[in-house]
A and B are shown apart, each in its own frame.
Chain A
Amino acid sequence: MSDISVSKKFNRLSETGVEQRKADLNIQELALDALQQLLGDKIKDVARMRGDITVTIGPDELLAAAEALRSNSALEFVHLSSITGVDYSRFDFPESWGDIRFGVVYNLFSYEKSANFALRVVVSEEEPVVPSLFHIWHGADWQEREVYDLLGVSFEGHPDLRRLFLYDDFEGEYPLRKDYPLKGKGERDKSWLPMQKQARVEESK
């Protein structure tokens, strides 16, 4: 996070823009410090991409970390911009992490400090369960439902965990998983059949 890299990336920005970006990165460092104090060795990984920090933790630490990021008066990450589910089945992670299949990435934003932060939770295929952040950020409601619907990661403590995008009688499993065939398992050819049958029955009456 040297000044050179900042100015390279933001060479088209005004001086104010560069200053804002520097402040953003400082807040990210603060947030990382806060998490390191709170969790210590339980942090699995700290990744830096062009100065932006992504902290990887396990599902057990998520609630504490989220609560700290939200309520810390120096950070105030009051906005959960997005939740993304990732299938990491084709990734290699360190042995010490255990058997990792899915990740859930939380992108946070602080209006007060104008800063971003990313938190990543990794879970195994056998137990794809992540604590729900609904009670910390209500915006997590539908986004967690989306991840649950398409990827099959379930969120413990979510008040209303049901499908969001797929229809209720969808027969397949979780179509965003990498091992799910792109063309589906025949559901796209069957979706219109109930309608057709129903119409035929009504006509024969």
Chain B
Amino acid sequence: MGVEAHLGNFLTSRLSVAVNWARKNSLWPMPFGTACCGIEFSAYLSNRYDAARFGAEALRFTPRQSDLMFVSGRVPNKLVPILVKTYEMMPEPKWVISQGTCACSGGMFDTYSVAQGVDQFLPVDVYIPGCPPRPEDLIKALQMIQDVVIKERLDEERDREAKFRNV
């Protein structure tokens, strides 16, 4: 369009675009694997499916160094406080993927001891159905998380957290 000639060596944009571009391509997942979905998660990280293509291969087993939580598998009542505490340890901004039917809704474990969906106590961004979901589903979910990340406003994260808490 000929605009470039007048711009010189700089480009105007929003700060959030640049920051979110960096964030979405360097997600550090925190695996919270409690069941067979955790095995599928391992497969998704392996070289056949290669999560490194999306910049999300750097697993961190401490929540303090990660910004994307995979809740893989059923969550018993006894584990709920631990899961919430782990989530709260993660620095902002952070996102949550609920992997598998059990994490989404309790699934076949419709019993006294299993929480019926982690969205009761975590702000879930993407749900992956399936029992267990295939690694391709996880890749799709990661791409959806990237879409969520790129649209995020920089001042929004705290609001999101507070909004969820007050529900």
A→B interface (CB under 8 Å): 165-167, 170, 172, 175, 180-185, 187-189, 191-192, 194-196, 199-200, 203
Contact = CB atoms under 8 A, between A and B. Distances in A.
Contact of A191 (B80, B85, B110, B162): B80
Interface in B81-118: 81, 84-85, 88, 110-116
Contacts of A175: 112-113
B78 interface: yes
B143 interface: no
6 nearest A-B pairs in the assembled complex, by CB-CB distance: A184-B112, A191-B77, A192-B121, A167-B78, A195-B84, A192-B80
B6 interface: no
B53 interface: no
B112 A188 contact: yes
B110 A195 contact: no
Given A167-B77, A196-B121, A188 B114 contact: yes
Interface residues of B, number: 19
Given A196-B121, A196-B165, A187 B77 contact: yes
B88 A199 contact: yes
A201 to B, nearest CB: 11
Contact of A192 (B88, B113, B115, B166): B115
A195 B87 CA distance: 12
Interface in B112-130: 112-116, 120-121
Contacts of B116: 188-189
Contacts, number: 58
Interface of B: 77-78, 80-81, 84-85, 88, 110-116, 120-121, 162, 165-166
Given A182-B110, A184-B112, A200-B165, 13 more contacts: A175-B113, A182-B111, A187-B77, A188-B77, A188-B112, A188-B113, A192-B81, A192-B121, A195-B85, A195-B121, A200-B166, A203-B162, A203-B165
B142 to A, nearest CB: 26
Nearest to A203: B165
A196 to B, nearest CB: 6
21 contacts: A165-B78, A167-B77, A167-B78, A172-B112, A175-B112, A180-B112, A182-B110, A183-B110, A183-B111, A183-B112, A184-B113, A185-B112, A187-B77, A188-B77, A188-B115, A189-B120, A191-B78, A192-B80, A192-B121, A195-B81, A199-B88
Q: Which of B84, B112, B115, B166 has the most CB of A within 10 A?
A: B112
B165 A199 contact: yes
A127 B149 CA distance: 60
B109 to A, nearest CB: 10
A192 B88 CA distance: 14
Nearest to A168: B78
A187 to B, nearest CB: 6
Contacts of B84: 192, 195, 199
| Most A CB within 10 A of own CB, among B113, B121, B162 | B113
B81 to A, nearest CB: 5
A188 B115 CA distance: 6
Output the residue of A181, A191, A194, A203 with the most chain B CB within 10 A.
Answer: A191
Contacts of B77: 167, 170, 187-188, 191-192
A191 B88 CA distance: 17
B89 to A, nearest CB: 13
